[in-house]
Amino acid sequence: MARLVVGGKPDFDFAKIREDDSEWDRVYKRFEVTVKSVSLDGDKATVVIDYKYSEPDGDGGGTKGEKVPLQKVDGEWKIVPYTKRSPTGYYFETLANVLANPEQALARNLAIYGPTRNVSEAEIRLGKERSDFLSAIFEASDKHEDEDLPYSGYKSMTMVEHTLMLWPAGRGDEVVFDMGLETGRYLTAWRKVDGKAKRLWQYRMKEQKSGGKPAAGTLAAWFEISEKGFAGRNAEFRKMLSARRPYAAYIEVGAIGSFICYVVKEDGTADPTKSRYSEESTMQDSHQAWTRGFFVTPEESMILASSH
């Protein structure tokens, strides 16, 4: 592809860019281009095309009226990369800019993905276990799904914070979802049992009445559940919410396509600067989280290191 671009660098290792960037990591099963018009101006030209594509998973799309700027170089027509002097910003032009300036694209990738990239083998493995188990939960929930109350206990929304996920520190085989809907707030727990995702329980959170002795346990403190709040719950619910252990927390922010990553400490509290919108918040790109695994924060890594 780089050989078809003015200033393209075909010897660059483009795999460095593709490994993390959702825009350039796309794989096509089929890509069809239809030329609609061509206008010539000496050694320059503009081609207007329609294109459509399909991907291996069945998704697809396309665009009509795409403009592709060309220039003749040594007798060959090549695509002109996007520049400030060429402000159309169409897909082919933008892609050509990456093929001509891959170092800049790589630098942008490192700036975006580097700070939340798992480094150690243990962190890489744990982060991937979490994203893989989350996918398994959704697959196990497909046959049960309900538009109003998801069986999974997880629901993505647009332009608002999504369901909060709480994973026991150092584990990727158990998670509790805190999902807020117009009909109420729900807690749902999942665990890997015999290699498969199993839903343990799902309860609607009742409004806590004032008074009553606070229940022991990290999640009980986090959710502010009193001892009365355990009435009528099954043993697994009581055991899980009464346990004292730190949790890795992730909540997706739809407006910017990222997960806020932080830790709920053993006493059921969290650093307010890291668990809310702020300059100190740790945010991982959603695409990276799903494809490479959830970021294991330095705070969680320190907790795991001190426990050995």
Where residue 77 sits, what CATH number does that domain have? 3.10.450
Question: Rounded distance, CA 178 to CA 204, Å?
Answer: 10
Summarised one tens digit per residue, pLDDT across range 73-108 is 999 999 999 876 655 658 898 889 999 999 998 998
Average pLDDT estimate for 230-254: 89
Distinct helix (H) and strand (E) counts, the chain: 8, 11
Q: Is 254 left (phi over 0), alpha (psi -120 to 50) or beta?
A: alpha
pLDDT at 84: 63
Q: Which of 91-95, 142-146, 197-201, 234-238 has the lowest mean pLDDT?
A: 142-146
Average pLDDT estimate for 46-64: 91
Domain boundary among 112, 129, 145: 112
Total domains present in the chain: 2
Q: What is the residue range of 52's domain?
A: 2-112
In the predicted model, is pLDDT for residue 159 greater than 70? no
pLDDT at 205: 85
27 and 150, same domain (yes or no) = no
Domain boundary among 87, 112, 137: 112
301 and 180, same domain (yes or no) = yes
Token output for 194: 């015999």
83 and 130, same domain (yes or no) = no
Token output for 289: 């989280």
Summarised one tens digit per residue, pLDDT across range 113-134 is 889 999 999 999 999 999 999 9
Residue 234's pLDDT band, with cuts at 50, 70 and 90, is confident
Task: Note the maximum CA span of the chain.
Answer: 84
Token output for 44: 């320059």
Residue 209's pLDDT band, with cuts at 50, 70 and 90, is low
Give one DSSP letter per residue of 60-106, joined into a string. Answer: EEEEEEEEEEEEEETTEEEEPPPBTTBTT--HHHHHHHHHH-HHHHH
pLDDT at 211: 57
